[in-house]
Amino acid sequence: GDLTPRSKLRAAFEGAKTAQAVFFYPDSEADVAALFETRLKQDGVTITPDALDTLSAAIGTRRDLALQEAEKFGLYGIGLNRPIELDDLDALGVGESASDVAAMVDAVFLGQPKRFDRLTGRFLEAGGAPISLLRALAMEARRILMAHSLSKEGLPETAIGDRLKPRIYPNQWPAFRQRMMRAPGGMAAVLQNRFYEAEAACKQTGMRADLIAIEAGLSAAERLQGRG
C-alpha cells in the first residue's frame, strides 16, 4: 500500500546509505489518454475529442493497452488526411469487450440508434452479456442525473466532474455536456428506470435477454435522437 512520510519502513530506506527509495504513482485515465494522443502525434495522426474520450473509457488506466492501440491507430491513420473519428473506433474494434460497451453507451446517449444496433449485434455475437450492457446504460443515466442535480446547486463543471463516478476529466466535458443536453434530469431519470426494468425483465421473464437489451437501448437512442 501507500507509505506515508511517517512510515518507519520508508524512513529506514530513505535514511540508509546502502538503499534507495523509488516513488511510483498510479496513472489516471487522463494520463493514459494523453500518452495515447502523444504517441499518435509522433506518427502524424490526430484524433477527435469524442473519439479520444470513448477510447479513454475503454482503455481505462492500462498503459500497455494504450500503447497497443496507439500503434494500431498510428498505422491506420497514415494517409487518412483527417482526424480519427468515432466510426473509426467501431471499424477497428478498439481494445477489449469493455470498449464495445463504452461505444454502445455512447451511441445511446448521443441518439444514434443505427450505430447502437450495429455495435450491439457484434457485441452479442462475441458472447457479450446483455445484463452488463443494461447496467452500463443505467450507470450512465444515473451519472447524467447526478450531474444535473449538482449543476442546479451551482457547482462548476470541474467540481461536478470530481464528484461523479466514473469521474469526468476536463477534456471529457465537451462530450459529456452533449449527453446532458440530450437527456435533461427528468429524461435521465426515466431512462435509468427503463434500464433497471429491462434488467429485471431479463431475470424474471422467459423472454430472451439479448432482445430485451436491444429493445431498451434502441428505444432510448431513438428517444434521444435529434435532441440537444
**What is the pLDDT, as a whole number, of residue 33?**
87
Q: What's 48's DSSP letter?
A: -
Per-residue pLDDT of the chain (228 residues; tens, 9 = 90+): 678 888 899 999 999 999 988 888 778 778 888 999 999 999 899 998 878 877 777 777 778 778 878 888 888 888 888 998 877 776 665 544 555 788 899 899 999 999 999 889 888 887 778 888 898 899 899 999 999 999 999 999 989 988 887 788 887 888 899 999 999 999 999 999 999 999 999 988 888 999 999 999 999 999 999 875
Written as one string, the DSSP assignment of 53-115 is HHHHHHHTT-HHHHHHHHHHHHHHHTTT-S-B-HHHHHHHT-SSHHHHHHHHHHHHHTT-HHH
Q: Which CA distances in Å does 18 have to 15, 21, 23, 115, 201?
A: 9, 11, 17, 60, 64
Rounded Cα gap, residues 45 and 53, in angstroms = 16
Collapsing DSSP to helix, strand or coil, 7 comes out as coil
Q: What is the pLDDT of residue 23?
A: 83
Alpha carbon 55 to its chain centroid, in Å, reads 7
Work out whether the CA dihedral 178, 199, 58, 159 comes out positive or negative.
positive
Amino acid code (one letter) for 179: R
Residue 98: the pLDDT is 53
Q: Which one, of 167, 139, 154, 190, lies nearest residue 33 by Cα?
A: 167
The pTM is what? 0.59
